[in-house]
Chains A and B, each alone.
Chain A
Amino acid sequence: MTIPTPARSESGPLGLDLNDRPVRGSDILFLQQWFGLTLTETCYMLGLSLPKWQACIQHPDEPVNDPTVALLVWLLATYPETRFLPQFPEPAEVLPQYLATAQQSTKTLGDVRRTRFGKTAFGLLLGREITSSNRWMSEHHPRQPSPQVHRLLFVFRNLLLTHGVPGFDTWVERVEQEATARGLKLSTRMTSWSRMLAASAAQPARERRRSRKKPKPEESAG
């Protein structure tokens, strides 16, 4: 998630003309859409509670009641250097660093086949599916990762940059532990966290049904 920083124009860098009018509720919505923020992220950026955000949005043409919020919106809209939200990287920005580090690591996917970590395991290491990386980096219709994954990408990239192969190995061990706790095994056969979780939850039930003893006629009669 990269915050856009277009060239500054007379009407402000966002094309938001705030020169001759106060900041209104609709400007908050404009900032949210322009930066591609979720509701939680917008509230964090402006320090608003959800009810206060709603109050602003419900009166889009009225000046924002709190002067602090109004001044903050004006600053963020007018001066890009005042924007303080972290810029989370896209998957394509982290993938090369991940692949380079994984090549140097002795860690493999599973003990039997000992497959090296590649692009398909990228999604699994971020708590998602093996197909996620293709979706995120699709040429035609790339899908945005969830906010959690965006943050995880930030942390993962910085971990690889600062801790290198030992950091990568620790990460893989942690993923293995979290997978084991969910009844999964990080291997080439693992394709997803959620689907396998549902499957592994359903499996004991089937086994229980199979091993259930049928009451004998004489027992039930007795």
Chain B
Amino acid sequence: MSAHSLPDPELFDLQDRPVCGRDLMLLRQWTGLSIADCCYLLGITVPRWHAYHKHPDQLLGDPSVALLAWALLRYPDVHYLPTFPDPAEVYPAYAHALEHSATTLPKPETAFSLLLGRERAATPRWLSEIGAPSQTLHPPVRRLLLAFQRLLTVQGVPGFEAFVNRARFEAQVRGLDLDAPSMTTWTHRTARSPDAPRRGRPPKSPSTPHAPIKRTVKQPSQATKQRKSSRN
């Protein structure tokens, strides 16, 4: 479970006053959680969260939530949310399992994100991000990273192979082949017929940097014409 670096409660000025709605917003800011994650932290629903948000200076209707928010701010060591690892923390265990496994994956250096249900290009992006990339990751990926890390820790290579087989199966039922180097994403793209019109913006021509902009002269409206004629 996580060890959040929470503030001194004196910063919140909670020593001599009860917990108010705005303290929940501050709790969220300090923990860096999304609203959904904060609702899980406090065991409340999203509508209840918004109700507290609307009345920042009012006492919390539920004294249990008030006591919980105070305790989480006052005693950072009693937090209970799991810490989701960064991709860079899980990648070495993945590389180690792959190295010792009989399983082979095409382009293993980018297959990491593909195994986690994302596109190949995500691996270099995840591993190059500095700071806290997990905050910007897709929430299910953050959870899968933790579960995958635990699987590798407890089950080792057999667990890894079972996971790869499962990913192969999930790809297969989606009409994809995980073992094909051409599989770069889980989005199933249907083949386009040569006669079908291309979608999206047409490619830019290398000779002309951009198409000449057609200037249109704005014609005065009927009301403007009337105003001018009345002035004259």
Q: B67: which of A88, A147, A158, A178 is its contact (CB, 8 Å)?
A: A178
Smallest distance from the beta carbon of B191 to chain A beta carbons, Å?
A: 21
Kindly list chain A residues whose C-beta atoms are within 8 Å of the C-beta of B150.
Answer: 79, 81-82, 84
Chain B residues whose C-beta falls within 8 Å of the C-beta of A55 in the assembled complex: none
Say which one of A37-45, A112-120, A135-143, A206-214 lies at the interface with B: A37-45
Considering only residues 167-196 of chain A, those with a C-beta below 8 Å from chain B are 167, 170-171, 174-175, 177-179, 181-182, 193
User: Considering the chains assembled together, what is the distance between the CA atoms of A50 and B34 in angstroms?
Assistant: 13
In the assembled complex, A162 has its CB within 8 A of some CB on chain B? yes
A60 CB-CB contact with B under 8 Å: no
Query: Is the beta-carbon distance between A71 and B18 smaller than 8 angstroms?
Result: no
| B206 is an interface residue with CB less than 8 A from chain A | no
**Quick check: A127 and B63 within 8 Å, CB to CB?**
yes
Q: Closest B-chain residue to A83, C-beta based? A: B147
Are A22 and B78 in contact, with the CB atoms below 8 A? no
User: Does A6 count as interface, using CB distance less than 8 angstroms?
Assistant: no
Scan residues 128-149 of chain B and give those whose CB is less than 8 A from a CB of chain A. Answer: 138-144, 146-148
- Choose among A40, A74, A146, A181 the residue with the greatest number of B CB atoms under 10 Å from its CB: A40
B173 lies within 8 A of chain A by Cβ: yes
Q: In the complex the two chains form, is A72's CB within 8 Å of B143's CB?
A: yes
Indicate if the CB atoms of B62 and A148 lie closer than 8 Å. Answer: yes
Q: How many A-B residue pairs have CB under 8 A?
A: 180
Cβ contacts B61-73/A at 8 Å (1 or 0 each):
0111111101110
Chain A interfacial residues counted at CB < 8 A: 61
Indicate if the CB atoms of B143 and A46 lie closer than 8 Å.
yes
A92 to B167, CA, bound (A): 42
Given contacts A40-B45, A40-B46, A50-B46, contact A181 B59 (CB under 8 A): yes
A85 touches B75 (CB 8 A): no
Chain A binding site: helix, strand, loop or mixed by DSSP? helix
**Binary interface encoding of chain B residues 1-18 relative to chain A, with 1 for a CB under 8 A from any of its CBs, else 0:** 100000000000000111
Contact between A86 and B81 (Cβ–Cβ < 8 Å)? Answer: yes
Distance between A76 CB and nearest chain B CB, rounded to angstroms: 7
In the complex formed, the residue of B with least CB distance to A125 is: B67
Residue A35 is within 8 A (CB to CB) of chain B in the complex: no
- The CA-CA distance from A63 to B172 in the complex, in Å, is 12
Decide: A151 near B80, CB < 8 A? Known: A40-B45, A47-B143, A181-B59: yes
Q: Answer whether residue B154 sits at the interface, using C-beta atoms and an 8 A cutoff.
A: yes
In the complex, A66 has a CB within 8 A of chain B: yes
Given the known interface contacts A23-B170, A71-B167, A175-B67, the answer about A40 and B78 at a Cβ–Cβ threshold of 8 Å is no
Quick one: closest A residue to B19, CB to CB? A178
Point out the residues of chain A lying under 8 angstroms from B174, CB to CB. Answer: 63, 67
- Decide yes or no whether B169 CB sits under 8 A from chain A: yes
B151 and A82 contacting across the interface, CB-CB below 8 Å: yes
**Does A3 make an interface contact (CB < 8 A)?**
no
Chain A residues with CB below 8 A from B66, complex form: 127, 178
Q: In the complex, what residues of B have CB within 8 A of residue A171's CB?
A: 67, 71
Taking CB atoms, residues of chain B closer than 8 Å to A182 are 18, 59, 63
Min CB distance B65 to A, Å, is 5
Contact between A76 and B147, CB atoms less than 8 A apart? yes
A163 to B65, CA, bound (A): 21
Which residue of the partner chain A has the closest CB to B77?
Answer: A162
Distance in angstroms between the alpha carbons of A86 and B142 in the assembled complex: 16
Q: Is the CB of B39 within 8 A of A40?
A: yes
CB of B147 within 8 A of CB of A82, answer yes
A50 to chain B, nearest CB (A): 7
A68-B141 in contact (CB<8A): yes
A sample of 26 cross-chain residue pairs with beta-carbon separation below 8 angstroms, ordered by A number, consists of A40-B44, A44-B36, A47-B140, A48-B140, A63-B174, A68-B118, A71-B166, A72-B140, A75-B148, A75-B163, A81-B154, A84-B82, A84-B150, A127-B63, A127-B64, A146-B64, A148-B42, A148-B62, A152-B64, A152-B71, A155-B71, A155-B75, A174-B70, A175-B63, A181-B18, A182-B59
Name A residues whose Cβ lies closer than 8 Å to a Cβ of B: 22-23, 39-41, 43-50, 63, 66-72, 74-76, 78-79, 81-86, 88, 126-128, 146-152, 154-156, 158-159, 162-163, 167, 170-171, 174-175, 177-179, 181-182, 193
